[in-house]
Amino acid sequence: MRILAVADEESKYFYDHYSPGKLDGFDLILACGDLRKEYLEFLATLAHCPVLYVHGNHDDAFDAAPPGGCICVEDQIYTYRGVRILGLGGSYRYRDGTHMYTESQMARRIRKLKFRLWRSGGFDILMTHAPARHINDFDSLPHRGFVCFTDLLEQYRPKYFVHGHIHRSYGPNIPQRSSHGDTTTINASGYYVFEY
């Protein structure tokens, strides 16, 4: 399965410089937050595959007007072609905002999924906006990762962890692909293509 992961910054390659067929060949698109509604709807219209999304910390407007043609996977395990995707959007709380959480609030969201996680036998892809603590995150509060995400990775050992929030323009040494134990971590800022 060929997957396009996107987050934070609209890709000129797929949007401004689009040409027919550029979005062909993808089986799934994972949108990891902080992208305009119009961009997500463009992807959903021109790609011949589902577009799944979680909220970024700047996506408050989606509550009243979600992107058409896209599937919100917040707080659920969405299965597509046998691949189980756990969606948990939002960032670490650094100011008031609908999609910002303290560590304990995010951990509570995960606890509410405990039965579904047990029933599904875990998940294959963890899809979030924020990174996990000490995996592609920073110490500053706005870009801190969640410890409970790290715990999820270590307990369930999914094949992939796909997140946004850490823009690659923040510095020259920000990896787009790395690993944590058995899990491959992908920073979807801009875009990244991978095979499942």
Q: Where do the structural domains in the chain lie, given as residue ranges?
A: 2-195
Please give the Cα distance from 41 to 22 (Å, whole number).
Answer: 16
The DSSP element (H or E) to which 84 belongs, if any, is strand 83-88
CATH fold, domain 2-195, is Purple Acid Phosphatase; chain A, domain 2 (3.60.21)
Residue 108: how many other CB atoms lie within 10 Å? 12
End-to-end CA distance of the chain: 5
Please give the Cα distance from 188 to 171 (Å, whole number).
Answer: 15
Task: Report the candidate in 134, 160, 149, 174 with the shortest Cα–Cα distance to residue 9.
Answer: 174
| Six-digit token string for 185 | 């971590």
Overall pTM surpassing 0.85 (yes/no):
yes
**How does strand 160-163 pair with strand 125-128?**
parallel
Q: What is the DSSP letter of 145?
A: P
C-beta separation of 84 from 119 below 8 A: no
**Amino acid in the structure at residue 44:** A
- Please tell me the predicted confidence (pLDDT) of residue 176: 93
Cβ-in-10-Å burial (0-12, 13-18, 19+) of 177 comes to exposed
Going from the first residue of the chain to its last (196 residues), give the mean pLDDT of each consecutive group of 10, the final group possibly shorter: 96 79 92 97 94 96 94 98 98 94 98 97 98 93 96 97 92 88 96 96
- Please tell me the predicted confidence (pLDDT) of residue 132: 97
- Please tell me the predicted confidence (pLDDT) of residue 126: 98
